[in-house]
Amino acid sequence: MQLLFLLLLPLAFSFSIHPSSLSPTALRGSATSHIFGDGDPNHVPSTLQKITAGKNKKIVDNASFSVSPKRWPWHPQQRLLLERGCSSLHDASYDRTSLGGSSSGVFLGILIDSSKKRFFTLIANSSPTSTEREASTPSNHPDPLLLQKLKHLHSTLGPPLLLSSKILSQSPSMSLAAEFKRASPSKGQIATSDISAGDQACIYFDSGSSVISVLTEPTYFKGSLDDMYEARVKTQELSTKLNTERPCILRKDFITSKHMILEAAAYGADTVLLIVAVTRRDDLKVLIEYCRELGMEPLVEIHAESELSVAVEAGAKVLGVNNRNLHNFKMDMSTTSRFSSKLSSEIASNKIILCSLSGMSNSDDVAKYRSEGVKMVLIGESLMRSRSPKLAIKSLGLDPRVKIEEGGGGAYTGGLKIVKVCGITSSEDALNACREGANMIGCIFAESKRTCGVEDAKSIVRSVRKFGEREGRVDLSAGIRRGIKRPLVVGVFQNEDVETINEIVEETGIDVVQLHGEEGEDCINDISVPCIRVIGVPLEDGRSVEERGEDIFKKCTKIPLAYLLDTKVGNVEGGTGVTFEHRIVGVVQGGGFPVIVAGGLEGGNVRKVAKDGAFGVDVSSGVEEKPGKKDSEKVKKFIDEAWRGGEEGVEGI
């Protein structure tokens, strides 16, 4: 896995680079001072030489090195954009000896070991000079033009709202920070270039968001201060029309100076994100106090437990927890829970307001965090990608007093969890699919070119259970939203009576039933195992994607484990080998229903579907040698591409 610079906004790191120096590149062999821009070979090469030599050379050869966007002003004395104590990385896997033995030096950048998914920090001088400290310390001389702009903004739009008060005012509802983001380093363009930040912010606000987060970083996230200003103006106009208080506007960027805070305030921000991981300990307190001088309460982000004391000592009141695990870049939702436990008394007295900034996907997550004293959650990319943000926000269950009548428990944003290979007729093909990484094996009992007999199905079930080291069915009472560790066997039926289905289920031992006909959902409760329901999607009927998606959404209930959308051609639903408009998936999942995508998928197109956030993907004819017989190479490619796309979909911001 290559390093994606700014892999995660709240946990990103960078350093300054001279415009004439090297562009972002992978390190190879010995270090060069040009990477650091000022041409002084005495500043840092010894550190790099250590990490690129001897036992660590292999790591570097498999790694990429990150540099900051060129938008940051460069001066020879400002080669230290970031200096920090690295205390937050004490739980990380890096070699202190190879980094010069210092845990409190100047932070220069990050190396990622792509083979082991580890990261190594590059630390330079353990004792920065006073000149270096002065260069990287926030300026005490405010820009007069920004001060003038801020004065004008206050006179026309009013003073900032206090984030802490806004969050607490939502009680007993969970406060939601909905994010506007045009792009990310890992996924590229998320929104079309002509999308209006103001219009999107108004949709969020009108749907119940009390905070609007706006990415203003221009190089990798394609954001701007103008986006934030537009969000402020438009939401304020809407709030006047609705006769209600406007939302807070949060500037999300790499805030490292007073200048950037003043800049945020002058362009309409009520608050800013301060990231402990990229802020010098001494500076954090200064920046928090400066925010308050401007009438703002900052959102201070922490991840590692060692960052908590730094934030509290600096005077942070609103703490945001990022749930991303730095060891493997995966979400660990218990991170927020651990901080909640440590801060229980402070949370109870509102001395600390705890927020969760990543990983939330449904009303269950919201309810869990609410019970732990969390007061705000931030949801980002899934709302930008959703075809119906209003529906997605509604289904989160922010207000515990309002029963969720529709949806599957909240917008599904958990990424790829299911890779299903259907039309399996032999144990050999089933085992091959399992070995390659499929976690659902489909056996068709309906009339088809790929019909599987009962005896063959029994053999397949035995083989799959043996592969998964289980003797009976997997308990699916908690659903499958969080994925499946052991492969399941799915029996596909079409317009079959319940009695026959249950007989085959009992005789073969299949784990899940897939209803592919017009059985209706009333019968699901009478089937002895959980069910997946198939809905046919017409190729085109003249309506918009959102209209078609909402029509499907209206057919959905909470009864099935998931919905499988397959292409409908004429009167034929499924098995057509034709793809449908996959943007419809976002509408249905935005309403809370996990969707497995079928129809025309194969190794060449599944990656994008998985990357775009589908809950599952299903293939049959796309990996066949002939009907009923799978091609092992095609199976491997399909499964590899599916999971690769799924990883890409959740890895970035």
Condensed to tens digits (0 to 9), the pLDDT of residues 5-61 reads 333 333 333 332 222 222 222 222 222 222 232 333 333 333 333 333 444 333 333
Topology adopted by domain 145-394: TIM Barrel (3.20.20)
**How far is CA 214 from each of CA 103, 229, 234, 423, rounded to the nearest angstrom?**
33, 9, 13, 46
Q: Tell me how far apart the alpha carbons of residues 10 and 273 are, in angstroms, rounded to a whole number.
A: 9
Q: Specify burial of residue 131 (Cβ count, 10 A radius: 0-12, 13-18, 19+).
A: exposed
Res 284: pLDDT: 94
pTM: 0.56
What DSSP state is assigned to residue 278? G
* Per-residue b or e along 315-339, where b marks 16 or more CB atoms closer than 10 Å to that residue's CB: ebbbbbbbbbebeebebbbebbbeb
CA distance 35 to 65: 10
Mind giving me the DSSP string for 483-544?
Answer: --SS-EEEEEESS--HHHHHHHHHHH--SEEEE-SS--SGGGGGSSS-EEEEEEEES--SS-
Is residue 98 a contact partner of residue 45, using CB atoms and an 8 Å limit? no
Q: Which tokens hold the place of 202? A: 């108004």
- Spatial contact of 119 and 140, defined as CB atoms under 8 Å apart: no
Q: Which CATH superfamily is domain 418-651 in?
A: Aldolase class I (3.20.20.70)
Dig out the tokens for 627 from the structure: 């009907």
d(CA 472, CA 510): 10
Q: Whole-angstrom Cα distance, residue 402 to residue 421?
A: 40
Contact at 8 Å (CB) between 622 and 602? yes
User: CA nearest 113: which of 6, 206, 1?
Assistant: 1
Whole-Å CA distances, 419 to 79, 178, 486, 605: 47, 30, 12, 14
Distance separating alpha carbons of residues 400 and 387, to the nearest angstrom: 25
Residue 16 and residue 72 in contact, taking contact as beta carbons nearer than 8 Å: yes
Could you identify the residue written with the tokens 């992978």?
26
* Positions of CATH 3.20.20.70 in the chain: 145-394, 418-651
**How would you class 20 by CB atoms within 10 Å of its CB: exposed for 0-12, middle for 13-18, buried for 19 or more?**
exposed
Helices of type H across 96-143: 130-136
46: which 2 tokens? Answer: 């010894």
Mean pLDDT, contiguous 10-residue spans, the chain (653 residues): 33 30 27 28 36 38 35 29 29 30 36 38 36 43 92 97 97 95 73 86 94 91 95 97 97 92 98 90 93 98 91 97 68 90 94 91 83 94 70 79 55 83 97 91 94 96 87 79 81 95 97 90 90 89 83 86 87 73 88 90 94 93 94 95 81 42
Q: For residue range 626-652, what is the model confidence (pLDDT) as tens digits?
A: 999 999 999 999 998 998 888 777 554
Structure tokens belonging to residue 153: 């903004």
Alpha helices by DSSP H, listed for 207-343, are 225-242, 258-266, 281-293, 305-313, 334-342
